Structure 1
Amino acid sequence: MQGFVGLWKHRVVLRGTTRSKCGPQVGRMLRISPRLMSMVDETRISRLNDDDVRANGKYVLYWMQESVRSRYNHALEYAVERANEIKVPLVAVYGVDESFPETNVRHKAFLLEGLAEAQKNLSRRGIRLLIVKHPPKETVGKLQKDAACVVVDRGYVRIVREWRRDVAEASTCAVFQVETDVVVPVEVASKKEETAARTIRKKIESQLATYLKKVEEVPLDHASPENVDLHGLQLLDIGNIESALASLSLDCSVWRVKTFLGGEDQALEQLQLFLDTRLKHYGKRNEPSVDITSNMSPYLHYGNISPIEIALKVRPLRKKYPDEVKSFLEELIVRRELAMNLVFYNDAYDSFDVIPNYAKITLMEHADDKRPYLYTEEQLERAKTHDIYWNAAQAEMVLTGKMHTYMRMYWGKKILEWTSGPREAFDIALRLNNKYNIDGRDPNSFTGIAWCFGKHDQGWAEREIFGKVRYMNSAGLERKFDMKGYVNRINKIREGHEGWENPPALLQYFNKRSADLNGSSKPSKRRNK
């Protein structure tokens, strides 16, 4: 069966010696049957430690962290296969980290909505998802004591990779990582950081026949037990999302939005809406006055839907909409996985240092150029600039949790133009993006901000402020798009949100950061260099 591998290639043997850390009952050998075939390609699977499968383990522990879904989830299906072979139940767990960097009520609401749907859908398969009010490392560190082994999905940004490393080092049983949130595994696609989409495109496309395949659901032989020893961990009741949010210590300055609700069922509804009404217009996706994008980015960020499932639902429409499908799959697979490549291979992905030398050098050479306008971060956050298009984009992000894709590029370029220097501009753009966008703190978001400063782009004619980085202006927007229509669309969203620029929670946040906040929209003046 093409694409399947024997689990014996990943077998773990309990040695008959007391040197093992797996506990007292290590005298017998536990072998993975060579006859069992896994539906998960072996290149998606990696061992994170050298510990053995615990012979007396009570269950296989599936540590769900990036892939909050019950469908098209290689990590989940691999965990089911493991449990079936060892003849033990499967228990899934998610550790809710209140202290995750830059997290707030908006992010956690979307996460909990997704967890609620995953919990419901997993229960139909006999799998119990424990949602625990403790950080992941503490949560898995305690539950692995009773586990035969741990299976975890793969993450790419720094902190989640550190979690997996630390858990694997501290665990006393085998820990397996399974890559399931990309079409082509990152290290299969490329062994190094790529410079642009053009350098990774063929590498990814040449692997699609191997990796772009349906993920079959594996029946679970032994349902999760009713009672699991939590070792002092506290469960988080998410039956009522508002109550659950209130029980967490979170930044409340960014309110919950109803524009997008989290969860795999919601993701599938959004995808079907896109296929039925928007895909045929995808050639005009850059037009901000209408919403014809897929809106998949928040769901991909939280792992509510697999890019493989999306691609397999879109591909059958190639004959009907050939150009639109080609463009969509380019963004879903090539561009998105270029972003994964960046954060995996470049540890500076969240700083100004990530941008290429041509951009960094020329931006710094023009760092003291006179700015036409100079705004504080607070003025930018509250959309208090002279530019109605930029203000509309900022309002869209603040009020809906998502900004139109093309406007994000313009938005980032203008922050570069209107702040005191490129490093400050990069940091401000990243903070605002991560704070308000539901898909903030995602590899795609980090890459998108870096693109505004020259990453994955080419050098252009040198000019003031921008150096050789690509320039964008409002005249270009007006020439290409119905910008009056865009502003009108955002103004309709603003209705019912009058005064959003100055809510008490936001003012409290501002006051903490700036003692001299006065609410003025008048830009500061800057001297010539």
Structure 2
Amino acid sequence: MLVHPARVRPLAEKPRRAGPVVYWMSRDQRAEDNWALLAAADLARETGAPLHVAFALAPGYPGASLRHYDFMLRGLAETEAALRARGVPFHLLLGDPAAVAPEFLRAIAAGACVTDFDPMRVKTLWKRAVAEAFAGPLLEVDAHNVVPCVVASPRREYAAATFRPKIHKRLQEFLEPFPELPAFPDVALVATPPVDWGAARASLSVDAFPGPVPDIVPGPAAARAALDAFTAERLPGYAARRNDPNAGAVSGLSPYFHFGQLAPQRAALEVLAARAGHVADADAYLEELLVRRELSDNYCHYTPNYDRYDALPDWARKTLDAHAGDEREHRYTPAQFEAAASHEALWNAAQRELVATGRIHGYMRMYWAKKILEWSPSPRQALDTALSLNDRYALDGRDPNGVVGVLWSVGGLHDRPWATRPVYGQIRYMNERGCRRKFDANAYIARHS
């Protein structure tokens, strides 16, 4: 068996039928290092059934623009080619996934369907609809987390301190090398012509702005090259330099993780292989990759209203509500924030970085979100504004990591109470003076002016 059985859980326990096995790809958009695809391959080889991969392309997705769809479609074209090289046909289904996925399963008389784990609300609704409509079994495989989300903890964790030992306890069990995807007879390829990617792009109903980011190449090959460059060139010194947005020390892998073009487990294996001589640096990165990132999935999976103000910890809502009426020296509308039209050059530079590059340095994203809290009429509006801007412009927006990053900054999620201040209450505070102590703020401003 190629896949640890604890990665797999049934979403619809119906009898398996004769017919092809379909991997309904969604979050994990790659042919290599993909536990969900490997699980589907296992099922197909058990009975000699053909294996098909299908991706349902929604014409629009909340918060997504041409920037995100372009990155995704270019990566999927590479994934299609890699699958066809292994004898596995790839089908691009155009339309609402809740409707077109069951239609496809019926059309090819599928015997079983495998999909990947994703805690985001829209994806959960799609899977629920397919589970109800499909006559066969629907299996979900966690191919994104190193320790499967439902295995790591059966409940919402309230801090990294409680979650960390649970992850480390199971790492040895799940942090294993990936087997190679088996090759299949290419008979099924004959009836499945290559995807018309131009027609797929034309079918979209999304905003043309923001457009594609020119300086980051999408796709699994570019993702692997980016990982290799990080481990060889930037992992040494990472622990000391990661909070300096001028240092160029970050991994740059989050867009590839978000679109499933790189397995986080592959990143963990490569960083561990490069750990000798760089123990503190590797451990600092692995804390972010394994504990903080998987804690984000834990939060969204066990919190259906994960992006709502009411989902914040009780102490945080209480303190924010108590200070909601505090006088604000500056107030901005969501449109002013979006236009980088604040009084502060450093904050404006962070917003311009996000809009222009589709990325924002992690330390600056915390500062950026906290100032939205400070300069918004209410904490509720601040949360909505920060989430909306992050989703619209960041390549890794619309993601558990993005949601949790904003809620940590604005609403104290996974944090603790601090000294009371106006507007913030007991939410952790950041200011420009603190940034200037950490890095050359003027250089950052000049680069994003």
TM class, shorter-length: over 0.9
* Residues 1:364 and 2:327 are matched in the alignment: no
Amino acid at match of 1:67: D
* Residues 1:116 and 2:72 are matched in the alignment: no
Please show how residues 465-484 of structure 1 align to structure 2 within 5 Å: 465-484=423-442
Instruction: State the distance in 2 between where 1:328 and 1:400 align.
Output: 22
Show CA shifts across 1:55-88 (max 9, x none): 2x2x211111111001111111111121112112
Q: 1:223 to 1:78 in 2, by over 3 A?
A: farther
Instruction: State the distance in 2 between where 1:316 and 1:87 align.
Output: 37
Please show how residues 318-467 of structure 1 align to structure 2 within 5 Å: 318-452=275-409, 453-467=411-425
User: Pick from 130, 138, 155: which aligns with 1:192?
Assistant: 155
Amino acid at match of 2:135: T
Aligned to 1:46: 9
Calculate percent identity across the aligned residue pairs: 39
Do 2:22 and 2:51's aligned partners in 1 also have CA atoms closer than 8 Å?
yes
Q: Give the secondary-structure state (helix, strand or coil) at the position aligned to 1:251.
A: coil
Q: Give the secondary-structure state (helix, strand or coil) at the position aligned to 1:40.
A: coil
User: Pick from 53, 58, 61: which aligns with 1:100?
Assistant: 61
Amino acid at match of 1:199: T
Tell me which structure has the larger Cα radius of gyration.
Answer: 1
Amino acid at match of 1:281: G
* Residues 1:126 and 2:87 are matched in the alignment: yes
Do 1:90 and 1:223's aligned partners in 2 also have CA atoms closer than 8 Å?
no
Q: Give the secondary-structure state (helix, strand or coil) at the position aligned to 1:48.
A: strand
Show CA shifts across 1:362-381 (max 9, x none): 11111111111111111110
- 378-387 or 247-256: which moved more? 247-256
Q: Give the secondary-structure state (helix, strand or coil) at the position aligned to 2:189.
A: coil
Aligned to 1:307: 264
Q: 1:455 to 1:123 in 2, by over 3 A?
A: same
Aligned to 1:515: none
Amino acid at match of 1:49: A
Do 2:115 and 2:141's aligned partners in 1 also have CA atoms closer than 8 Å?
yes
Do 1:91 and 1:224's aligned partners in 2 also have CA atoms closer than 8 Å?
no
User: Pick from 234, 239, 243: which aligns with 1:278?
Assistant: 234
Aligned to 2:217: 261
Q: Give the secondary-structure state (helix, strand or coil) at the position aligned to 1:280.
A: coil
Amino acid at match of 2:244: E
Please show how residues 132-211 of structure 1 align to structure 2 within 5 Å: 132-145=93-106, 146-211=109-174
Do 2:86 and 2:184's aligned partners in 1 also have CA atoms closer than 8 Å?
no
Do 1:339 and 1:443's aligned partners in 2 also have CA atoms closer than 8 Å?
yes
Instruction: State the distance in 1 between where 2:170 and 2:145 align.
Output: 12
Q: Structure 1 unaligned segments of length 5 or more: list them.
A: 1-37, 492-529
Instruction: State the distance in 2 between where 1:187 and 1:68 align.
Output: 21
Instruction: State the distance in 2 between where 1:405 and 1:158 align.
Output: 24
Q: Give the secondary-structure state (helix, strand or coil) at the position aligned to 1:162.
A: helix
Amino acid at match of 2:40: A
Aligned to 1:487: 445
* Shift in Å, 1:317: 1.8
Show CA shifts across 1:211-237 (max 9, x none): 00011014234335135589xxxx962
Amino acid at match of 1:90: L
Do 1:267 and 1:299's aligned partners in 2 also have CA atoms closer than 8 Å?
yes
Instruction: State the distance in 1 between where 2:403 and 2:183 align.
Output: 38
* Shift in Å, 1:133: 1.6
Asked which structure has the greater RCO (Cα within 8 Å, sep 6+), the reply is: 2
* Shift in Å, 1:397: 0.4
Amino acid at match of 2:151: V
Instruction: State the distance in 1 between where 2:100 and 2:215 align.
Output: 32
Do 2:84 and 2:189's aligned partners in 1 also have CA atoms closer than 8 Å?
no
Show CA shifts across 1:257-298 (max 9, x none): 123222111111111111121111212110011221001111
Instruction: State the distance in 2 between where 1:299 and 1:173 align.
Output: 32
**Greater per-residue helix proportion:** 2
Amino acid at match of 2:280: D
TM-score, normalization by structure 2: 0.96
TM-score, normalization by structure 1: 0.82
Amino acid at match of 1:213: E
* Shift in Å, 1:254: 1.6
Instruction: State the distance in 2 between where 1:429 and 1:76 align.
Output: 35
Do 1:156 and 1:340's aligned partners in 2 also have CA atoms closer than 8 Å?
yes
Q: Give the secondary-structure state (helix, strand or coil) at the position aligned to 2:9.
A: strand
Aligned to 2:179: 216
Amino acid at match of 2:102: G
* Shift in Å, 1:391: 0.5
Aligned to 2:196: 237
Q: 1:224 to 1:130 in 2, by over 3 A?
A: farther
Instruction: State the distance in 1 between where 2:192 and 2:211 align.
Output: 35
Q: Give the secondary-structure state (helix, strand or coil) at the position aligned to 1:207.
A: helix
Amino acid at match of 1:456: H
Q: Structure 2 unaligned segments of length 5 or more: list them.
A: none
Aligned to 1:496: none
Instruction: State the distance in 2 between where 1:488 and 1:100 align.
Output: 34
Instruction: State the distance in 2 between where 1:143 and 1:217 align.
Output: 27
Do 2:53 and 2:91's aligned partners in 1 also have CA atoms closer than 8 Å?
yes
Do 1:371 and 1:465's aligned partners in 2 also have CA atoms closer than 8 Å?
yes
- 94-103 or 448-457: which moved more? 94-103
Q: Give the secondary-structure state (helix, strand or coil) at the position aligned to 2:90.
A: strand
